[in-house]
Amino acid sequence: MLTNHNKDLCRNFIDLAFTQKKPTQAAKLYLSASYIQHNPHAQDGRDAFSTRFERYFQEHPDTEVLVKRIVAEGNLVMMHIHAKSGPDDRGEAVVEIFRVENGKIAEHWDVVQSVPAQSANQNSMF
């Protein structure tokens, strides 16, 4: 089924780019040549992605990205992620949204929320 294929594609992209910390290789394999970025702090394109995250991992070599859940419908894949820049970082809850086209990630949106020191409830953000 195409939806499961798209989930696997996005999971593999996150694994290679962020767990294995190989963003250039991940961009070449998984991002379309005309990759569209909706994060206002990031530029469009595979090269922009590679440059940004190669630099980020040099500055934050202990970064950890944990995929908590994946939901997909058709060509859209949503991932709920706990991202930490190092072992002492509470991190951020991130929802990544990808649009897949012709077997590549063609478009990306994200929503990011810092994990607070205290919560008004006993539930985890994850």
How much is the average pLDDT of 20-30? 98
The predicted pLDDT at position 1 comes to 65
pTM of the model: 0.94
The predicted pLDDT at position 88 comes to 93
pLDDT tens-digit series, residues 7-20:
999 999 999 999 99
How much is the average pLDDT of 39-55? 97
Q: Which of 14-18, 76-80, 122-126 has the lowest mean pLDDT?
A: 122-126
How much is the average pLDDT of 22-47? 97
The predicted pLDDT at position 63 comes to 97
* 13 Cβ contact partners less than 8 Å away, ≥ 6 residues apart: 26, 29, 30, 31, 98, 105
Which token pair is 83? 């991202």
Q: How far apart are the first and last CA of the chain?
A: 27
Domain contains 49: yes
Domain contains 99: yes
Domain contains 122: no
Domain contains 50: yes
Stated length of the chain: 126
What are phi and psi for residue 40, nearest 5 degrees? -70, -10
How much is the average pLDDT of 34-63? 97
In terms of residue numbers, what domain contains 74? 2-114
Domain contains 15: yes
Domain contains 44: yes
Residue 43 has pLDDT above 70, yes or no: yes
Residue 2 has pLDDT above 90, yes or no: no
| CATH code (residue 49) | 3.10.450.50
Q: For the chain, how many structural domains are there in total?
A: 1
Domain contains 80: yes
Contact (CB, 8 A) for 29 and 46: no
Half-sphere exposure of 11 (CA within 13 A, CB side): 12
